[in-house]
Amino acid sequence: MTKISIADVLQAHYRIKPFLPKTPVLTSSTFDAMHGRKFYFKAENMQKTGSFKVRGALNAIIKLQESGEPVKGVTTHSSGNHGQALAWAASKCGLKCNVITPHDTPNIKIRSIEGYGASVTLCEPNPTSREETCQRVTMETGYSFVPSSDHYDIMAGQGTIALEFLDEVPNLDAILIPASKGGMAAGIAITAKSLKPNIKIFVVEPKGKDLERCLIAGERLWPNPPQFVDTIADGIRIQQLGKLTWPILLKLAEKEVFTADNEEIMRGMKFAFQRMKVVIEGASGAAVAAAMSDRLRKMDDSIKNVGVILCGGNVDIDQLPWYKGK
């Protein structure tokens, strides 16, 4: 029934491998001692362009070029990381690029997008404005639209994270994955469950996404029109899962969802900065917070080896969240 399989992910891996070296897997004996299991942190913050998004972007662009149809350029709408990734991937593949992004996107993300040679079009900070502005620009330029998440080629690209991760740490029992629309979580779920059916896929969300209730009900309970969640993790603000990612996660993800509020996200970020000496953004802080949570602590002892996706490191270091209000 699902139109994406492990074969798509393996093909994606073959396409993007020449461009992207493997990202490291980090461990912290301090963290393990504090939280009673073995944790493995996949450092996608150290990926080209500072987040995992480049995997899906590259796979989508290369596949477009393989299709034989003429491609002048690509457009997208993005909170920042996908925009940056697409800009970089487009330049590597000789294409132009236009990125639509909310006007409150951190400056560093906007500068990076332009630094890769792409144009930036600003829109209002809500999902509807993003989509409408993007449709307009796509029509005007004649470029091809590459979405940030809800697309099989994007999911297949993100799934390559799991190929690498399970290659390095074959005995992972569970993976904690931050989710916005769910492209990464879906891609990893398809891949990991194909390679290791007993592995548990746990989604990590910012408070207000309410995903657990939806998964348990088997229904998209979110209000319309689509909203942003109020969270400091600017990369995972979208409340609803995508239309294509939803059935995949409904089938493959655990019903228990890890929820992180702003305090917990900050605590997760601070651990990474202070003890692991790596820079991570809010979404990754949420994943670390999930790893630190009581909920995980109380889980079955058979979950011995836990993977944590440090999905990105594009945080504005001039506006780190623990300085606000000082």
Partner 1 sequence: MSKRLPVSISDILKAHSRVKQNVHHTPVVTNSTFDDRFGRKFYFKCENLQKTGSFKARGALNAVTKLCEEDKTVSGVVTHSSGNHGQALAWAAKTMGLKCAVIAPNNSPAVKLEAIKGYGADVVLCEPTPTARQQTCDKVSKERGYYFVPPYDHYDVIAGQGTMAVEFLEQVPQLDAILVPTSGGGMVSGIAIAGKSIKPDLKVFIVEPQGKDVERCLQAGDRLWPNPPRFLNTIADGIRLQQLGHITWPIILELVEKQVFSVTNDEIIEGMKFAFERMKLVVEAASGAGIAAAMSDKMCNLDDNIKHVGVILCGGNTDIHHLPWYQ
Locate 161 and state its tokens: 């994270």
Contact 52, 95 (CB under 8 A): no
CB-based contact 66:166 (threshold 8 Å): no
What are 290's two structure tokens? 């999930």
Identify which of residues 64 and 320 has a Cβ nearer to partner 1 in the complex: 320
Please tell me whether residue 145 binds partner 1 under the rule CB under 8 A. Answer: no
Site pattern 48..87 for partner 1 (x: CB under 8 A): --x-------------------------------------
**Binding to partner 1 by residue 24, rule CB under 8 A?**
yes
Kindly tell me which of 192 and 272 has the beta carbon lying closer to partner 1: 272
- Closer residue to partner 1, CB minimum distance, 253 or 278: 278
Tell me the number of residues near partner 1 by CB under 8 A.
20
317 touches partner 1 by CB under 8 A: yes
User: Is there a contact between 119 and 98 (Cβ–Cβ < 8 Å)?
Assistant: yes
Active-site position among 28, 51, 79, 293: 79
Q: Which of residues 264-303 bind partner 1 (CB under 8 A)?
A: 270, 273-274, 276-280
Measure the CA angle with vertex 42, ends 163 and 270; round to 5°: 165
Q: Give the one residue of 16, 20, 46, 292 binding partner 1; rule: CB under 8 A.
A: 46
Q: What is the maximum alpha-carbon separation in the chain?
A: 56
CA 218, CA 31: separation in Å to the nearest integer? 35
**Cα 122 from Cα 100, distance rounded (Å):** 6
78 tagged catalytic: no
**From 42, 48, 53, 209, the catalytic residue:** 53
* 257 Cβ contact partners less than 8 Å away, ≥ 6 residues apart: 202, 203, 204, 205, 209, 211, 212, 215
Query: Is 93 a residue that touches partner 1 (CB under 8 A)?
Result: no
Smallest distance from partner 1 to CB 149, Å: 22
296-301 long-range contacts, CB within 8 A, separation 24+: 296/35, 296/37, 296/176, 296/258, 297/35, 297/36
Does 106 participate in binding partner 1 (rule CB under 8 A)?
no
Nearer to partner 1, 207 or 270 (CB): 270
Check: CB of residue 311 under 8 Å from CB of residue 319: no
In the complex, minimum distance from the CB of residue 297 to partner 1, in angstroms, rounded to a whole number: 21
Active site residue 79: yes
Binding residue (CB under 8 A) for partner 1 from 217, 294, 323, 325: 323
What does the alpha-carbon distance between residue 174 and residue 308 come to, in Å, rounded to a whole number? Answer: 9
Q: Which residues bind partner 1 (CB under 8 A)?
A: 24, 43, 45-46, 50, 108, 270, 273-274, 276-280, 313, 317-318, 320, 322-323
Active site (catalytic) residues: 53, 79
